[in-house]
Amino acid sequence: MQGKTVVITGATSGIGQVAALALAKMGARVVFVARDASRAEATLTRLRAANPQEAHSFHLADLSEIAGMKQSAAAIAADAPKIDVLINNAGAMFGARRETADGLERTFATNHLAYFVLTNLLLAPLRAAGAARVVSTSSMAHQGMTLDFDDLQGRKRYFAYAAYGKSKLCNILFTRELARRLEGTTVTANCLHPGFVATRFADSSDGWLRSLFQLGKRLMAISPENGARTILYLATAPAVAGKSGGYYVKSKPAALSAAAKNDADAKRLWAISAALTGVG
């Protein structure tokens, strides 16, 4: 990773921060997107300590809002004209249904559209780097989920875990369609399930959902260091060079649900996302 540039979202805590620091120690320059300035400054300090030779940087944005995503992408492209690895990692689960300033359900906007907008607007610097990689954090929570294209925003019915699982299904369908569109180029796209990790995830959820996840994290969760391993594998391993469109668990290709292999749905989701955001 010496001399390479990595762009990552969700790098101020959890598996994203572990991955960012590990990549910096390997020699990479890390550019990350954050919502909170104080947490971003703290992460930047750690990156500089891990690799003081590179000009690490961050850009502030609310990745649930389309304008913020676009502004962040434009700033990153100016900051990093060549991107070797883009890691879409930021995600959240919300206990109650709320809409963004764009009138979109927050889970769908944060967990799917942020990946969609950033990746599409950073394709030029990814192509400029040569053999670049797009790595997106999905989840095994996609299992058992299907997309209702008449209610992607959950206006008819909303359940927090289902909204999250469907957004993770969107991550896989996005990866598959992106890989198809990138065929014949030097840019690959893969996604992963990191495991059930002890991080700040779901801490902003409400009531019983937050309590349930806090209990689960105490009893069953793996460490952020273990959770970041598959991200690092897909970002750096020679074994996946040139491989695209895959879904990985514990650094190995893993089985998908029937819904996650539906390429017609992947194309339809792409078209809807492009219409909502004006990119892609």
Each residue's pLDDT tens digit, 213-242: 454 444 456 688 899 999 999 999 999 999
The arrangement of strands across the sheet holding 29-34 comes to 57-60, 29-34, 5-9, 85-88, 133-137, 188-193, 247-249, 252-253
Q: What is the CATH number of the domain that holds 256?
A: 3.40.50.720
Q: How much is the average pLDDT of 16-40?
A: 97
- At 251, list the tokens: 């650094």
- The predicted pLDDT at position 217 comes to 44
Catalytic residue among 164, 233, 247, 248: 164
| Averaged pLDDT of the chain | 92
* The pairing of beta strand 247-249 with beta strand 29-34: unpaired
- The predicted pLDDT at position 204 comes to 54
Task: Answer yes or no: are the C-beta atoms of 135 and 85 closer than 8 Å.
Answer: yes
3-state secondary structure of 85: strand
pLDDT tens, position by position, 179-207: 999 999 999 999 999 977 655 554 455 65
Contacts of 266 (CB under 8 A, 6+ apart): 173, 174, 176, 177, 180
3-state secondary structure of 186: coil
Task: Answer yes or no: are the C-beta atoms of 166 and 120 closer than 8 Å.
Answer: no
- The predicted pLDDT at position 216 comes to 47
Q: 115 catalytic, yes or no?
A: no
- The predicted pLDDT at position 214 comes to 56
pLDDT tens, position by position, 119-170: 999 999 999 998 999 999 999 999 999 999 999 999 999 999 999 999 999 9
- The predicted pLDDT at position 195 comes to 76
Q: Residue 245 pLDDT > 90, yes or no? A: yes
Range of the domain at 248: 5-277
User: What percent of the chain is modeled with pLDDT above 70?
Assistant: 91
Give the Cα separation of 159 and 107 in Å (integer): 11
| Sign of CA pseudo-dihedral 243, 132, 33, 101 | negative
For the chain, what is the domain count? 1
Contacts of 55 (CB under 8 A, 6+ apart): 29
